[in-house]
């Protein structure tokens, strides 16, 4: 017997049943006619006798259908009823849906970003959030890459991992001439694709056999995007040769279209075996050398190993195993500048990638997003409560007619869900439109390199939005629904809706307190952020980026060796300095306010014995003569670098003020002291430069070292020119000079320095702006809600006001009574808010600058605004109530 016929057998035969009913009526009519009635009245009488035919059929149908089908049918009728009811009240419904849409859009957008950073950070990689990263960690908590020999040792001996791959990110020039482009690439080990489970779309992925011949096996796997954009999706790409940094590489494959590398927020476009590191100019912090020497050197901080833990291994477990391995390794072959230990971190805490600076902000943002949603819920709960009161009559009638309490509650919950789900859908749509705006902005900042965020609106996001909407519906719908179902029938039927004689309404009171508290919290947050933005804007970064152009070049990408590179830079500087519009020009390796951490190098100071475990590695910059004048960095003492500080002259160095203070007790003592950077010879300090914001505006002062370019050649340099001409023309002219010297050399970027620097501020500004918007939106919502609830309470008490005034109370005393009540609630709420703010604003620490998280002014301002709002929200309705005629107030019900 088929399932279909079984189902049929289990169902009422509708036609047969109707025929049976007709037969029943016919027999009954015949019988009446036999008793002497005429045909039509007999039919009418039997029809009347029968009762309700539809209800009978329904009852018969119900005998057959399973209970859940019935429940579903009931639910559907509830949904229809709810939609009808809400359609009758469009203003209420629109306000609720609108408030929810906003709240959910904010949360969905932040959640999507969080998902792309932490929950599923790598597109095209299964379980990417479960990847574990190994990094070296100094006593000061600075994270370092791991050398290739150490990686290999860990890969072969660490039983905690099922397999270990390793990679590092590098920019490389692809092609030659004007069409050449600087793109982000990953240097990877041979098992990289196997560990990640990424397949090749065309050709093959890299294999362990590609990792065997240092410098001798130049192969590359392209990303799908690069293959489509730069090679027109050439079907015969595999086997062709491309030039990377003017070095020929054979394309062996194209990676899966979904895959964008393992550096969060970077769109990695080429994957190259780590055995070609030196050819790509990666030396792991050592002096330039060959790939085979680099790969054998344990001091070269080269790679971050990644892997999945074996099933059943916890992170703590794995860390213990790795620690033990590291101890063995350090005993067998001690390193001179041994790292303190190896740390295992989950992928979302990986030391590279966009999540390092985006995650803290996102966490704060999501907390604020939830607060805004909470306020929205409290708001809607208030609306529902008021509406519930006006529906008391309807609900009482239903209860009196025998509706079960659960049935009423279900109806009200269905109503809130009918409101919440459109909010979820619209919220997701709004987020979907908003996110690309943010991404295109970030993309513009990153050009010419490409960004990639794994922020598809997938099932996870939609599930999140629906869950949030349902949670919100429960919060704002369920409590009022429960209350509505607990109506005193007699009084409700008698249309007496005044709260006379009932205890003070605790739910409404607590809603007011909660809203005041949360709005204070958000206002404090917004105030802190506003003050911090102000501080950041007026902060002195220590240099002047206006009227400076920055053109970044990497001579390796043009195939230059060191000797030719030095000549090129000398000619380039001569050429730009000859331009009458250029006041000053120089070179530097890293921009100030670089945002991204630059490598730190060990510094040995003559006569200074570092404490055990003290981290004496500092960031450094290799700069040309005239650097400090070009960027207008003040020189506190001594002299700047000059052209005569070349490879034949005595080695010199310049330190910053913090360095001088820390090691020699002051700027004045520094000049003439000696130090070593890395493994180089002793250098004499010739000057002390003022501190600059090296990475971001909010950073703490840090020691910093400058080395002269002519004594420490770097192939990757930024050319700066300063002049009074419009900065864009400075950029264009400098760019033209580069092209006139070598038309084939790719330019990494050519931008006004101010623009480059502001991109370091961008995440800070973006985060601050969003926090401010969240704060203001939440505050506005909360103010509205508080006003609504307080004025509603006052309105409800019109009757009481009438009695008071009839008994001789003056209008003023009535107003005072309400004001005292309102301010008492406001004060309780504000107190709760202050306590919460004191506890929570510390979270803001990572995004605040120049203002303490417990800043008194911000707290005072927020308190004044919130309490003022409460007073106004109380005063207006109370005043109105006091002016009503006592007689009318008494009749008001």
Partner 1 sequence: MTLHSSRPDARTDLLHGTLDMLILRTLQWGPQHGYAIGQTIRAQSSDVLQVEAGSLYPALQRLAKKSWVTAKWGQTSANQRAKFYRITPDGRKQLLREESRWTELVTAIGRIMKPSLLRDNEE
> How far, in Å, CA of 690 to CA of 780, rounded?
45
Q: How far is the CB of 40 from partner 1 (least distance, A)?
A: 19
Instruction: Say whether residue 799 binds partner 1 (CB under 8 A).
Output: no
Contact region for partner 1 (CB under 8 A) — 22-30, 108-116, 117-125, 800-808?
22-30
Q: How far is the CB of 162 from partner 1 (least distance, A)?
A: 57
Q: Would you say 55 or 437 has its CB closer to partner 1?
A: 55
> DSSP readout, 218-257?
-EEEE-HHHHHHHHTT-TT-TT-EEEETTEEEEEEEEE-T
> How far, in Å, CA of 625 to CA of 210, rounded?
43
> How far, in Å, CA of 759 to CA of 882, rounded?
58
Instruction: Say whether residue 28 binds partner 1 (CB under 8 A).
Output: yes
Q: Would you say 17 or 231 has its CB closer to partner 1?
A: 17
Q: How far is the CB of 76 from partner 1 (least distance, A)?
A: 18
The 3-state DSSP class for residue 683 equals strand
Q: Are 617 and 138 in contact (CB under 8 A)?
A: yes
Instruction: Say whether residue 819 binds partner 1 (CB under 8 A).
Output: no
Q: Would you say 32 or 696 has its CB closer to partner 1?
A: 32
Q: How far is the CB of 489 from partner 1 (least distance, A)?
A: 20
Cα angle at 187 between 181 and 191, to 5 degrees?
Answer: 135
Q: Would you say 8 or 49 has its CB closer to partner 1?
A: 49
Contact region for partner 1 (CB under 8 A) — 52-60, 232-240, 734-742, 774-782?
52-60
Length of the chain: 893
> DSSP readout, 308-344?
EEPTT--HHHHHHHHHHHHHHHHHHS--TT--SEEEE
Q: How far is the CB of 28 from partner 1 (least distance, A)?
A: 6
Instruction: Say whether residue 403 binds partner 1 (CB under 8 A).
Output: no
Instruction: Say whether residue 60 binds partner 1 (CB under 8 A).
Output: yes
- Measured CA to CA in angstroms, residue 317 lies from 136, 320, 324 at distances of 18, 5, 11
> How far, in Å, CA of 280 to CA of 126, rounded?
30
Cis peptide bond prior to 448, omega within 30° of 0: yes
Q: One symbol per residue from 547 to 586: x for binding partner 1 (CB under 8 A), - otherwise; what is it?
A: ----------------------------------------
Contact region for partner 1 (CB under 8 A) — 17-25, 269-277, 428-436, 532-540?
17-25
Instruction: Say whether residue 27 binds partner 1 (CB under 8 A).
Output: yes
Contact region for partner 1 (CB under 8 A) — 44-52, 157-165, 320-328, 601-609?
44-52
Q: Would you say 28 or 421 has its CB closer to partner 1?
A: 28
Q: Which residues ranging from 357 to 376 are in contact with partner 1 (CB under 8 A)?
A: none
Q: Would you say 69 or 668 has its CB closer to partner 1?
A: 69
Instruction: Say whether residue 330 binds partner 1 (CB under 8 A).
Output: no
Instruction: Say whether residue 50 binds partner 1 (CB under 8 A).
Output: yes
The 3-state DSSP class for residue 654 equals strand
Q: How far is the CB of 3 from partner 1 (least distance, A)?
A: 18
Q: Are 522 and 779 in contact (CB under 8 A)?
A: yes
Instruction: Say whether residue 488 binds partner 1 (CB under 8 A).
Output: no
Q: How many CB atoms are closer than 10 A to CB 386?
A: 18
The 3-state DSSP class for residue 684 equals strand
Give, as one character, the DSSP assignment of residue 62.
Answer: H
Instruction: Say whether residue 59 binds partner 1 (CB under 8 A).
Output: yes
Contact region for partner 1 (CB under 8 A) — 15-23, 87-95, 357-365, 792-800?
15-23
Instruction: Say whether residue 864 binds partner 1 (CB under 8 A).
Output: no
Q: Would you say 20 or 647 has its CB closer to partner 1?
A: 20
Instruction: Say whether residue 91 binds partner 1 (CB under 8 A).
Output: no
124: left (phi over 0), alpha (psi -120 to 50) or beta: left
Q: How many CB atoms are closer than 10 A to CB 378?
A: 24
Instruction: Say whether residue 39 binds partner 1 (CB under 8 A).
Output: no
Instruction: Say whether residue 65 binds partner 1 (CB under 8 A).
Output: no
Q: How far is the CB of 403 from partner 1 (least distance, A)?
A: 11
Q: Which residue has the tokens 């595999």?
A: 238
Q: Would you say 40 or 54 has its CB closer to partner 1?
A: 54
Instruction: Say whether residue 700 binds partner 1 (CB under 8 A).
Output: no
Using alpha carbons only, how large is the chain's radius of gyration in Å?
A: 37
Instruction: Say whether residue 37 binds partner 1 (CB under 8 A).
Output: no
Among 8, 26, 606, 891, binds partner 1 (CB under 8 A): 26
Contact region for partner 1 (CB under 8 A) — 46-54, 79-87, 88-96, 110-118?
46-54
Token pair for 885 = 């005629």
Instruction: Say whether residue 20 binds partner 1 (CB under 8 A).
Output: yes
Instruction: Say whether residue 230 binds partner 1 (CB under 8 A).
Output: no
Count of residues in contact with partner 1, rule CB under 8 A:
23
Q: Would you say 31 or 394 has its CB closer to partner 1?
A: 31
3-class secondary structure per residue, 71-115:
HHHHHHHHHHHHHHHHHCCHHHHHHHHHHHHHHHHHHHHHHHHHH
- Measured CA to CA in angstroms, residue 604 lies from 92, 146, 608, 657, 668 at distances of 71, 22, 8, 17, 20
Instruction: Say whether residue 24 binds partner 1 (CB under 8 A).
Output: yes
Among 7, 63, 91, 807, binds partner 1 (CB under 8 A): 63
> DSSP readout, 688-756?
EEPP--SS-TTPPP---EEEETTTS--SEEEEEEE-SS-HHHHHHHHHHHHHHH-TTPPEEEEEEHHHH
Q: How far is the CB of 795 from partner 1 (least distance, A)?
A: 40
Q: Would you say 12 or 690 has its CB closer to partner 1?
A: 12
Token pair for 460 = 């996870």
Instruction: Say whether residue 33 binds partner 1 (CB under 8 A).
Output: no
> How far, in Å, CA of 851 to CA of 730, rounded?
37
Among 5, 52, 179, 331, binds partner 1 (CB under 8 A): 52
Instruction: Say whether residue 55 binds partner 1 (CB under 8 A).
Output: yes
Interacting residue ranges for partner 1, rule: CB under 8 A: 12, 16-17, 19-21, 23-24, 26-28, 30, 49-52, 55-56, 59-60, 62-64
């Amino acid at each position: 017997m088929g399932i279909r016929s079984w189902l049929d057998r289990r169902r009422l035969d509708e036609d047969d049943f109707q025929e049976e009913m007709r037969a029943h009526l016919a027999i009954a009519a015949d019988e009446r006619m036999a008793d002497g009635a005429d045909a039509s009245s007999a039919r009418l009488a039997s029809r009347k006798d029968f009762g309700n035919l539809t209800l009978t059929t329904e009852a018969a149908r119900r005998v057959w259908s399973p209970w859940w089908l019935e429940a579903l049918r009931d639910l559907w009728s509830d949904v229809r009823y709810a939609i009808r009811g809400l359609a009758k009240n469009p203003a209420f419904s629109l306000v609720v849906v609108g408030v929810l849409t906003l709240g959910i859009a904010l949360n969905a957008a932040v959640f999507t970003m969080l998902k792309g950073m932490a929950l599923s950070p790598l597109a095209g990689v299964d379980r990417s959030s479960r990847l574990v990263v190994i990094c070296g960690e100094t006593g000061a908590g600075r994270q370092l890459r791991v050398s290739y020999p150490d990686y290999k040792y860990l890969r072969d001996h660490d039983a905690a991992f099922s397999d270990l791959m390793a990679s590092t990110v590098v920019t490389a020039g692809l092609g030659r001439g004007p069409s050449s482009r600087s793109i982000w690439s990953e240097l990877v080990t041979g098992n990289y694709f196997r560990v990640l489970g990424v397949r090749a779309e065309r050709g093959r992925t890299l294999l362990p056999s590609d990792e065997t011949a240092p410098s001798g096996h130049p192969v590359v796997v392209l990303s799908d995007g690069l293959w489509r954009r730069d090679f027109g999706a050439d079907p015969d790409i595999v086997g062709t040769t491309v030039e990377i940094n003017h070095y020929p590489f054979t394309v062996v494959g194209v990676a899966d279209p979904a895959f964008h590398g393992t550096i969060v927020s970077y769109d990695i476009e080429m994957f190259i075996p780590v055995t070609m590191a030196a050819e790509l100019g990666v030396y792991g912090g050592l002096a330039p050398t060959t790939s085979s020497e680099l790969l054998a050197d344990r001091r070269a901080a080269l790679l971050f190993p990644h892997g999945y833990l074996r099933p059943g291994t916890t992170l703590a477990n794995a860390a213990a195993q790795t620690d033990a391995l590291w101890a063995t390794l350090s005993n067998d072959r001690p390193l001179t500048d041994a790292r303190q230990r190896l740390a295992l971190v989950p992928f979302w805490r990986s030391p590279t990638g966009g999540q390092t600076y985006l995650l803290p902000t996102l966490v704060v943002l999501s907390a604020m997003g939830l607060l805004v949603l909470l306020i929205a819920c409290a708001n809607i709960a208030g609306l529902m409560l008021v509406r519930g009161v006006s529906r008391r009559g309807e609900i009482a009638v239903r209860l009196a007619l025998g509706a079960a309490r659960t049935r009423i509650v279900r109806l009200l919950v269905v109503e809130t869900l009918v409101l919440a789900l459109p909010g979820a859908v619209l919220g997701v749509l709004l987020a979907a439109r908003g996110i690309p705006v943010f991404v295109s902005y970030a993309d513009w900042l990153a050009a010419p390199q490409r960004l990639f965020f794994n922020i598809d609106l997938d099932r996870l996001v939609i599930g999140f939005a629906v869950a949030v909407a349902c949670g919100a519906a429960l919060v704002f719908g369920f409590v009022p629904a429960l209350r509505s179902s607990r109506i005193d029938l007699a009084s409700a039927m008698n249309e007496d809706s005044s709260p006379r004689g009932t205890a003070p309404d605790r739910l409404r009171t607590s809603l007011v307190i909660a809203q005041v508290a949360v709005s204070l919290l958000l206002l404090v947050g917004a105030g802190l952020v506003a003050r911090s933005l102000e501080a950041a804007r007026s902060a002195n970064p220590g240099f002047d980026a206006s009227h400076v152009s920055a053109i970044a070049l990497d001579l390796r990408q043009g195939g230059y060796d060191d000797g030719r590179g030095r000549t090129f830079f000398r000619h380039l500087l001569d050429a730009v300095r000859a331009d009458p519009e250029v006041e000053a020009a120089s070179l530097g390796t890293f921009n100030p306010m670089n945002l991204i951490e630059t490598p730190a190098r060990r510094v040995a100071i003559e006569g200074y014995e570092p404490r055990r475990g003290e981290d004496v590695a500092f960031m450094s910059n290799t700069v040309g003569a005239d650097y400090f004048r070009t960027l207008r960095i003040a020189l506190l003492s001594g002299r700047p670098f000059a052209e005569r500080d070349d490879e034949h002259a005595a080695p010199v160095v310049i330190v910053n003020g913090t360095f001088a203070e820390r090691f020699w007790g002051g700027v004045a003592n520094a000049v003439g002291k000696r130090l070593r950077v890395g493994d180089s010879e002793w250098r004499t300090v010739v000057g002390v430069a003022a501190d600059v914001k090296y990475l971001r505006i909010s950073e703490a002062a840090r020691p910093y070292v400058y080395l002269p370019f002519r004594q420490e050649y770097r192939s990757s340099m930024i050319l700066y020119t300063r002049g009074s001409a419009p900065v864009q023309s400075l950029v264009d002219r400098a760019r033209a000079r580069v092209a006139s010297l070598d038309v084939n050399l790719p330019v990494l970027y050519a931008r006004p320095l101010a623009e480059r620097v502001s991109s370091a501020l961008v995440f800070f500004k973006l985060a601050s702006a969003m926090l401010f918007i969240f704060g203001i939106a939440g505050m506005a919502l909360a103010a509205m809600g508080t006003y609504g609830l307080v004025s509603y309470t006052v309105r409800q008490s019109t009757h009481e006001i009438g009695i008071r005034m009839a008994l001789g109370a003056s209008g003023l005393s009535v107003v005072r009574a309400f004001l005292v009540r309102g301010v008492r609630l406001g004060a309780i709420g504000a107190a709760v808010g202050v306590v919460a703010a004191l506890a929570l604003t510390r979270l803001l620490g990572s995004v605040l600058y120049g203002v303490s998280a417990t800043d008194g002014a911000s707290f005072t301002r927020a308190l004044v605004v919130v309490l003022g709002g409460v007073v106004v929200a109380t005063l207006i309705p109370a005043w109105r109530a006091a002016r009503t005629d006592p007689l009318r107030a008494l009749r008001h019900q």
